[in-house]
């Protein structure tokens, strides 16, 4: 069986193309949930023709066609081999394994009609009409500037075959019903021109009660919109704004401009949907972008950071670029390590192009070359900051910055809070610091948890001064293990009694090039705290001898703890480190805090910009594992859903009632298995399964791979391999027991909850545990049976009877053995 998949929101060109493929290959058409009004009309008018052509998605199809679109990211790459794409939109990235039929025609249908003609496939007048619709609509009846002579030739071929122009015209003009005319009237009333760089751009906006799917295809019918270089139409409905763009000037590349909003399309026609802005804000922002795009042509080389260039690999700290005799780039040297495998960027591309480029790679630092000669390096962060900072600056949020902290003496409370031995050690460290003229502080989670009177595990100490010297003095004549990381100027110390301290040198934000500057720039405690994630994590308690126990609060962290809110310190906080999106929700969930208003705005913006997808996947893995280990995991996942973060990691994942119940039960099951049977269960496979049970295995596999949950793949596979068994669990106790024991314990809680055998599993596992008291090898020996492989047989036989309740005490068991096995 062969299938044609239509993309969400498919238009007539897609439908006609699909119809053509169904004639060519007898392929079935899979309709999307939403499609344009003209598609609906065509399906109605020709329902007889489509009746036997509509099918359902089946990943086992031998071939899958995509038409009028080449978006495949929602499909598993394993099925790429089966995919063929017919499209007339330009492609910038061809995926391996997929077969492409791309031609620069005005419609995708043209490509297919060409093939029908070449292969002399029989088409009657109705087929011809259905096919012609796609060409007519997508070329704007041959008036759009992307129309090619081939479109006309193929349309002419269809007219020869009897295509009915009256029907075509009826279907196409039906677009301008009274609803639409009203919207266009509103738009025209509410429009203005922008004159930039010798170009005229019209921006029109309107509030409408409900979105009209194919309104975009009617835009070209409006005279006013055709007389300018480009048009942006902003349609605000209840909870979102749709931007539709049309451009008649190649210098205004809409696919590039609207991709900033996560949208896409052609240079001449594109659209995007936005949820976080108001109409006014969006208009401002769009203007700002257009000005930037059309007048400010900042190139990558303008932000590249010059680094030392060298022709030899001889000893060198920091970052250098190695060139050959002709001055051409050879590779990069980071702390003496040579790397010639990095992706390099062209110095003359725009920042927007650069962003598109870097998003494809996991790499953090990119050499920038002009004609193969190095100009410098840039990091991902540099590019994102240069692009998005002006956007955020428009939000005009100014966050706290105070040079003078509030202070408070908490010495006595600290003494009560900390275990005595830790308190004693801190005093010693404080004394040594004082003697050396340094200052030392407790920082981070421990201080926050101290304010909250919550037990805390990690003891983080920041040193203003020479960390090496302090540690040397401290460990002198003592049995303390020191793990020193010179590159980062940090150290972990382990005392004999198990106490662990993490030391770090106070440092500034400027560690943009990890490992680049081995001598970490020393800084003050203020600067160290200023680079942290949220105000509640910026408190410090000084432990230097003369100021031991002084709580220091630069950013009103105390107030935010009291008022239960998560607040970032900078406008660009989430851009600099998108992982903070997850951290913010995790802390909010853990403590039951709210996001402070501006922080919430910034977070939503960062989510909308899909910044999380630009974060290193390894750190997302760590963050998710921490989330799964939280007590309030369900609440945190709910927040992640509410802020639309969850669905950016797990495709189509929403926390509905069903999932909520499953997650809650899994948490409980993990605890119960642990308490009753001492099963040590890593939580992640269970929660991952709970977040992806709605997906086919191929899709989950892709997600697990991407975020490095390699161990969980095995567990997922187990469930999918034995899905039939899970759905029809063995009825006999012993069979059930055997199956239960084959389930990897790491995935037992999910399986038990999802397939409804949790209680039964508890009952059976309890019996297994108790069985030791019913009968053992020792008992058999006492009865007088000689040790031999028969023991195993007897024990499992009795176990079976015990499971079924036919034997229920030691006496029963002994009697049974005596009766059947003595001699």
Q: Which does 547 bind (CB under 5 to 8 A by kind): Mg ion, ligand ATP, none?
A: none
Comparison of 321 and 442: residue with beta carbon closer to ligand ATP: 442
Q: List CB contacts of 44: < 8 A, sequence separation 6 or more.
A: none
Within 13 Å and on the Cβ side, how many CA atoms surround 376?
A: 15
Comparison of 37 and 577: residue with beta carbon closer to ligand ATP: 577
Comparison of 340 and 458: residue with beta carbon closer to Mg ion: 458
Instruction: Tell me which stretch binds ligand ATP (CB under 6 A): 88-96, 579-587, 712-720, 812-820.
Output: 579-587
Q: Which two tokens stand for residue 258?
A: 């609207």
147-179: burial string, b at 16+ Cβ within 10 Å, e else: bbebbeebbebbeebebbeebbeebbeebeeee
Candidate residues 114, 577, 596, 746; the one interacting with ligand ATP per rule CB under 6 A? 577
In order, the DSSP letters of 300-331 are HHHHPBP-EEES--SS--SEEEEE-TTS-EEE
Instruction: Tell me which stretch binds ligand ATP (CB under 6 A): 195-203, 315-323, 491-499, 574-582.
Output: 574-582
Comparison of 405 and 749: residue with beta carbon closer to ligand ATP: 405
Comparison of 590 and 594: residue with beta carbon closer to Mg ion: 590
- Edge-first strand listing for the sheet containing 2-5: 28-30, 2-5, 63-67, 83-87, 99-102
Comparison of 445 and 651: residue with beta carbon closer to Mg ion: 445
For residues 701 and 716, the answer to whether their CB atoms sit within 8 Å is yes
The answer to whether residue 579 forms part of the interface with ligand ATP (CB under 6 A) is: yes
Q: What are phi and psi of 746, to 5 degrees?
A: -65, -20
Q: Which does 537 bind (CB under 5 to 8 A by kind): ligand ATP, Mg ion, none?
A: ligand ATP
The single-letter DSSP state of residue 246 is E
Q: Which two tokens stand for residue 299?
A: 């190139």
Q: Which two tokens stand for residue 353?
A: 């192009």
Indicate if the alpha-carbon torsion angle 423, 425, 429, 435 is positive or negative.
Answer: positive
Candidate residues 376, 444, 578, 589; the one interacting with ligand ATP per rule CB under 6 A? 444
Comparison of 458 and 642: residue with beta carbon closer to ligand ATP: 458
CB of 445 to Mg ion, least distance (A): 4
CA atoms of 203 and 187, how far apart (whole Å): 9
Instruction: Tell me which stretch binds ligand ATP (CB under 6 A): 3-11, 542-550, 575-583, 667-675.
Output: 575-583
Instruction: Tell me which stretch binds ligand ATP (CB under 6 A): 60-68, 132-140, 573-581, 720-728.
Output: 573-581
CA angle 141–142–147, rounded 5-degree value: 140
Give CA 439 to chain center in angstroms: 41
The answer to whether residue 391 forms part of the interface with ligand ATP (CB under 6 A) is: no
The answer to whether residue 641 forms part of the interface with ligand ATP (CB under 6 A) is: no
Comparison of 20 and 444: residue with beta carbon closer to ligand ATP: 444
The answer to whether residue 392 forms part of the interface with ligand ATP (CB under 6 A) is: no
Candidate residues 580, 604, 659, 683; the one interacting with ligand ATP per rule CB under 6 A? 580
CB of 447 to ligand ATP, least distance (A): 8
Residue closest to ligand ATP, measured at CB: 445
CB of 459 to ligand ATP, least distance (A): 10
CB of 449 to Mg ion, least distance (A): 9
Contacts (CB under 6 A) with ligand ATP, residues 661-690: none
CA atoms of 481 and 378, how far apart (whole Å): 38
The answer to whether residue 567 forms part of the interface with ligand ATP (CB under 6 A) is: no
- Helical residues (DSSP H) of 397-491, grouped into ranges: 411-417, 420-436, 445-451, 467-475
Long-range Cβ pairs for the range 722-728 (8 Å, 24+) = 726/751, 726/754, 726/755, 727/755
Q: Which does 670 bind (CB under 5 to 8 A by kind): Mg ion, ligand ATP, none?
A: none
User: Which secondary structure element, helix H or strand E, spans residue 373, and what is its range?
Assistant: strand 373-379
Q: Which does 659 bind (CB under 5 to 8 A by kind): Mg ion, ligand ATP, none?
A: none
Contacts (CB under 6 A) with ligand ATP, residues 449-478: 458
DSSP bridge pairs for 345:
368
Contacts (CB under 6 A) with ligand ATP, residues 97-156: none
Comparison of 448 and 570: residue with beta carbon closer to Mg ion: 448
CB of 540 to ligand ATP, least distance (A): 10
CB of 634 to ligand ATP, least distance (A): 18
CB of 632 to Mg ion, least distance (A): 17
Q: What are phi and psi of 371, to 5 degrees?
A: 45, 50
CB atoms < 10 A from the CB of 355, how many? 20
The answer to whether residue 557 forms part of the interface with ligand ATP (CB under 6 A) is: no
Q: Which does 683 bind (CB under 5 to 8 A by kind): ligand ATP, Mg ion, none?
A: none
Q: How many residues sit close enough to ligand ATP to count as binding (CB under 6 A)?
A: 10
Q: Which does 580 bind (CB under 5 to 8 A by kind): Mg ion, ligand ATP, none?
A: ligand ATP
Comparison of 159 and 410: residue with beta carbon closer to ligand ATP: 410
CB of 649 to ligand ATP, least distance (A): 17
- Helical residues (DSSP H) of 645-789, grouped into ranges: 646-649, 657-677, 684-692, 697-706, 710-721, 723-727, 733-742, 748-754, 758-774, 777-783
The answer to whether residue 715 forms part of the interface with ligand ATP (CB under 6 A) is: no
Comparison of 580 and 604: residue with beta carbon closer to ligand ATP: 580
Q: Which two tokens stand for residue 318?
A: 């920091």
Comparison of 331 and 445: residue with beta carbon closer to Mg ion: 445
DSSP bridge pairs for 504:
462, 490
The answer to whether residue 629 forms part of the interface with ligand ATP (CB under 6 A) is: no
Q: List CB contacts of 233: < 8 A, sequence separation 6 or more.
A: 187, 204, 205, 206, 216, 219, 225, 243, 244, 245
CB of 507 to Mg ion, least distance (A): 18
Nearest to 2 by CA among 23, 27, 20: 27
Q: List CB contacts of 340: < 8 A, sequence separation 6 or more.
A: 322, 330, 331, 332
Pairing between β-strand 373-379 and β-strand 540-542 as defined by DSSP bridges = unpaired
For residues 569 and 399, the answer to whether their CB atoms sit within 8 Å is yes
Q: Which does 565 bind (CB under 5 to 8 A by kind): ligand ATP, Mg ion, none?
A: none
Candidate residues 445, 465, 616, 744; the one interacting with ligand ATP per rule CB under 6 A? 445
Comparison of 162 and 445: residue with beta carbon closer to Mg ion: 445
Q: Which does 68 bind (CB under 5 to 8 A by kind): Mg ion, ligand ATP, none?
A: none
CB of 489 to Mg ion, least distance (A): 19
User: Which secondary structure element, helix H or strand E, spans residue 18, and what is its range?
Assistant: helix 12-25
Comparison of 248 and 445: residue with beta carbon closer to ligand ATP: 445
Comparison of 367 and 405: residue with beta carbon closer to ligand ATP: 405
CB atoms < 10 A from the CB of 616, how many? 14
> Site mask, ligand ATP, residues 513-552, x = CB under 6 A?
-------------------xx---x---------------
CB of 396 to ligand ATP, least distance (A): 23
Comparison of 291 and 454: residue with beta carbon closer to ligand ATP: 454
For residues 28 and 1, the answer to whether their CB atoms sit within 8 Å is yes
Contact residues: Mg ion, CB under 5 A: 445, 458
For residues 573 and 588, the answer to whether their CB atoms sit within 8 Å is no
CB of 439 to ligand ATP, least distance (A): 18
CB of 429 to Mg ion, least distance (A): 19
For residues 608 and 274, the answer to whether their CB atoms sit within 8 Å is yes
Contacts to ligand ATP by CB under 6 A? 444-445, 458, 532-533, 537, 577, 579-580, 583
């Amino acid at each position: 069986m062969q299938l044609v998949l239509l993309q969400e929101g498919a238009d007539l060109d897609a439908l006609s193309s699909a119809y053509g493929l169904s004639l060519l290959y007898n392929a079935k058409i899979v309709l999307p949930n939403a499609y344009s009004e003209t598609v609906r009309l065509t399906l109605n008018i020709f329902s007889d023709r489509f009746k036997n052509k509509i099918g359902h998605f089946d990943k086992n199809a031998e071939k899958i066609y995509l038409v009028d679109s080449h978006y495949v990211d929602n499909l598993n790459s394993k099925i790429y081999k089966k995919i063929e794409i017919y499209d007339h939109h330009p492609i910038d990235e061809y995926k391996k394994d997929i077969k492409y039929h791309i031609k620069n025609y005005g419609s995708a249908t043209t490509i297919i009609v060409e093939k029908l003609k070449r292969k002399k496939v029989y088409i009657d007048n109705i087929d011809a009409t259905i096919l012609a619709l796609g060409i007519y609509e997508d070329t704007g009846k041959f008036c759009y500037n992307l129309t090619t002579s081939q479109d006309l030739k193929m349309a002419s071929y269809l007219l020869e075959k009897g295509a009915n122009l009256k029907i075509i015209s009826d279907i196409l003009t039906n677009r301008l019903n009274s609803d639409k005319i009203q919207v266009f009237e509103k738009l025209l009333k509410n429009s203005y021109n922008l004159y930039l760089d010798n170009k005229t751009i019209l921006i029109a906006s309107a509030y409408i009660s409900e979105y009209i799917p194919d309104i975009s295809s009617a835009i070209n019918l409006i005279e006013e919109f055709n007389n300018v270089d480009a048009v942006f139409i902003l349609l605000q409905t209840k909870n979102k704004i749709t931007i539709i763009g049309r451009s008649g000037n190649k210098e205004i590349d809409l696919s590039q401009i609207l991709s900033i909003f996560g949208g896409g399309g052609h240079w001449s026609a594109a659209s995007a949907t936005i949820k976080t802005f108001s109409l006014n804000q969006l208009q401002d922002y769009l203007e700002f972008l257009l000005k930037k795009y059309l007048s400010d042509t900042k190139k990558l080389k303008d932000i590249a950071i010059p680094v030392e260039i060298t022709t030899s690999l001889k000893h060198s700290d920091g970052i250098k670029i190695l060139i050959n005799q002709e001055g051409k780039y050879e590779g990069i040297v980071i702390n003496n390590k040579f790397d010639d495998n990095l992706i390099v960027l062209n110095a003359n591309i725009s920042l927007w192009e650069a962003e598109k480029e870097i998003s494809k790679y996991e790499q953090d630092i990119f050499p920038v070359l002009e004609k193969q000669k190095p100009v410098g390096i840039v990091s991902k962060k540099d590019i994102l900051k240069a692009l998005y900072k002006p956007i955020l600056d428009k939000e005009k949020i100014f966050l706290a910055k105070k040079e003078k902290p509030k202070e408070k003496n908490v010495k006595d409370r600290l003494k009560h809070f900390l275990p005595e031995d830790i308190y004693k050690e801190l005093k010693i460290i404080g004394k040594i610091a004082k003697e050396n003229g340094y200052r030392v502080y407790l920082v981070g989670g421990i201080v926050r948890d101290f304010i909250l009177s919550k037990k805390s595990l990690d003891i983080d100490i920041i040193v203003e001064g020479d960390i090496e010297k302090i540690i040397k003095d401290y460990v002198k004549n003592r049995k303390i293990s020191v793990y020193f990381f010179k590159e980062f100027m940090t150290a972990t110390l382990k005392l004999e009694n198990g106490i662990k301290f993490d030391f770090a040198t106070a440092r500034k934000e400027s560690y943009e090039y990890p490992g680049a500057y081995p001598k970490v720039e020393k800084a003050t405690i203020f600067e160290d705290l200023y680079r942290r994630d949220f105000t509640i994590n910026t408190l410090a308690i000084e432990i230097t001898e003369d100021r031991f126990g002084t709580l220091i609060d630069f950013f009103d962290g105390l107030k935010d703890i009291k008022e239960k809110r998560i607040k970032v310190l900078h406008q660009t906080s989430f851009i600099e480190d998108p992982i903070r999106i997850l951290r913010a929700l995790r802390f909010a969930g853990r403590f039951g805090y709210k996001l402070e208003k501006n922080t919430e705005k910034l977070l939503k913006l960062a989510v909308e910009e899909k910044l999380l997808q630009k974060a290193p996947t390894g750190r997302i893995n760590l963050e998710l594992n921490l989330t799964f280990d939280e007590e309030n995991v369900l609440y945190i996942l709910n927040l992640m859903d509410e802020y639309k973060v969850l669905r950016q990691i797990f495709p189509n994942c929403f926390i509905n009632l069903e999932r909520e119940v499953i997650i809650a039960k899994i948490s409980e099951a993990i605890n119960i298995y642990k308490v009753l049977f001492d099963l040590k269960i890593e939580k992640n496979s269970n929660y991952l399964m709970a977040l992806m049970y709605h997906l086919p295995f191929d899709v989950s596999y892709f997600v697990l791979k991407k975020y490095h949950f390699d161990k969980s793949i095995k567990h997922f596979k187990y469930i999918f391999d034995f899905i039939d068994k899970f759905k029809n669990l063995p009825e006999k106790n012993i069979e059930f027991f055997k199956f239960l024991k084959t389930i990897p314990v790491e995935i037992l809680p999910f399986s038990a909850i999802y397939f409804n055998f949790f209680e039964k599993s508890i009952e059976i596992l309890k019996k297994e545990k108790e069985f030791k008291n019913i009968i053992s090898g020792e008992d058999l020996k006492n009865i007088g049976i000689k040790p031999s492989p028969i023991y195993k047989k007897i024990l499992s036989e009795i176990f079976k009877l015990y499971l079924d309740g036919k034997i229920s005490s030691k006496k029963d068991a002994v009697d049974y053995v005596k009766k059947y096995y003595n001699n």
